[in-house]
Amino acid sequence: MTGDGKPAPLLDGLVLHVFRDRITAPNIDAGIELLTARAACQASAEEWRTAVADALEAGYLHDPIRLPEGALQCHWHLELTPLGVEHARRLRQGGAAAACSLRHLQPH
């Protein structure tokens, strides 16, 4: 949230990004670094952290810390909830994807 209690301006950009590109990393710092590098919206790591927190609060993202069955350690993974997918689709239908969309992604 911003100081006035409104969602971070990057919230919609984050939702649109995760709709097209799931971010998986060994920890939050590496995950934010990947997000910063891949997203078309230019923002600082702290701004992306705020957007992730806002998306979690809004119910758009699942908890990003995962411990898959049989794994020896946790990893950090951004994945939309059904509400987040619905929000991303509304944004795309409204033309928001052009304002803050993905850079060309290389297959990974």
CATH number at residue 54: 1.10.10.10
Is 50 exceeded by the pLDDT of residue 2? no
Q: Which two tokens stand for residue 78?
A: 């951004």
Helix, strand or coil, per DSSP, at residue 74: coil
In a domain, 108, yes or no: no
In the chain, pLDDT over 70 holds for what percent of residues? 80
**CA distance linking residue 39 with residue 48, whole number of Å:** 10
Reduce the DSSP state of residue 39 to 3 states and report it: strand
Q: How many CA atoms are closer than 13 Å to the CA of 2, on its beta-carbon side?
A: 7
Q: Which pair of structure tokens corresponds to residue 39?
A: 């997203």
Q: List the beta strands (DSSP E) in 14-66.
A: 23-25, 65-66
Number of domains making up the chain: 1
Confidence of residue 5 (pLDDT cuts 50, 70, 90): low
Chain position carrying tokens 């990947």: 34
Average pLDDT for residues 11-27, to the nearest whole number? 91
Kindly indicate the confidence band of residue 90, based on its pLDDT and cuts at 50, 70 and 90: very high
pTM passes above 0.85: no
User: Is 103 inside any structural domain?
Assistant: no
Half-sphere exposure of 16 (CA within 13 A, CB side): 23
